[in-house]
Amino acid sequence: MNFPPSKPSPTTKTLNAECTNCGFRNRSLLHRIQLRGIDRRLCTSCVLRLHPSSFCPSCFEFFDHPLSSTSSASAHRFLSCIKCSSLTHIQCLPSPPPSHSSFLCPPCSVPNFFFFEPDKPNSGSTGTRPVLNKKLVLVLLCAAKIASASMNKAVTVARAKADRTVREATLARKRAKEALQQFSVVLKVRHVEGSVHVAGSRNLGTRDTGNTLKVANPGPNFNDKK
């Protein structure tokens, strides 16, 4: 008797085949990233949307170090968006650049903005993969750098936590050893004190066969006349 083939159980690869933020399904274009301490899989657009201060939204240059829009250097080189925390290069803006009080970055100024939307293959093309132009390559590379920096930071934090745990365990072991040594000393002292007390006692007695109590090593009788 032939049985129908059983359906394979979902694997980790299948479960990770979509963006955990928007549901985008394309495993080859997903990035592994640490977001608020949680390991997630995000598409390119969601990586950029959730990290607006990590890149310029016009040229997609990744900022290796966090930039502050309030610093004097950043104020002369960038324009900060009034709606989000993104920073755009002055040279990336049209001339004359807008004022600081009214600037909106491209994602905030364009409704339904999408960072990464590959072109569909031409009708005459035999391939099914999306077409990437130069801009999309820069966008994809920027998201990959953000994801890499995020994971490197997570590794550093995990390593520091592991080192701290090892130090705490070593200290706890040392304290436990010292406590055991101290307890052993206390037991020895009590044992010695008990031995001295028993040896020096003059009230030890035994009973003979006639049930008469005999005192062993009686003390001096102070009523006896010398």
Query: Cα dist. 77→80, 100, 213 in Å?
Result: 10, 12, 106
203 alpha-carbon distance from chain centroid: 69
pLDDT at 122 over 80: no
Mean pLDDT across 112-128: 62
Q: Write out pLDDT tens, residues 182-219.
A: 888 888 877 777 776 656 555 545 455 455 445 455 55
Q: Give the span between the Cα atoms of 99 and 82, in whole angstroms.
A: 11
Tell me the helix, strand and coil percentages in the chain, rounded to 5.
40, 15, 45
Quickly tell me which residue has 């997609």 as its tokens. Answer: 60
Q: Give the span between the Cα atoms of 124 and 200, in whole angstroms.
A: 111
Looking at 26-40, 100-114, 121-135, which range is the least confident one?
121-135
Residue 3 confidence class, pLDDT cut points 50, 70, 90? very low
pLDDT at 48 over 80: yes
Q: Write out pLDDT tens, residues 65-110.
A: 766 544 444 555 888 898 888 889 988 887 777 777 788 888 888 8
Closest CA to 103 of 130, 128, 62, 75: 75
> Any idea where the domains of the chain sit in the sequence?
13-117+132-161
pLDDT at 160 over 90: no
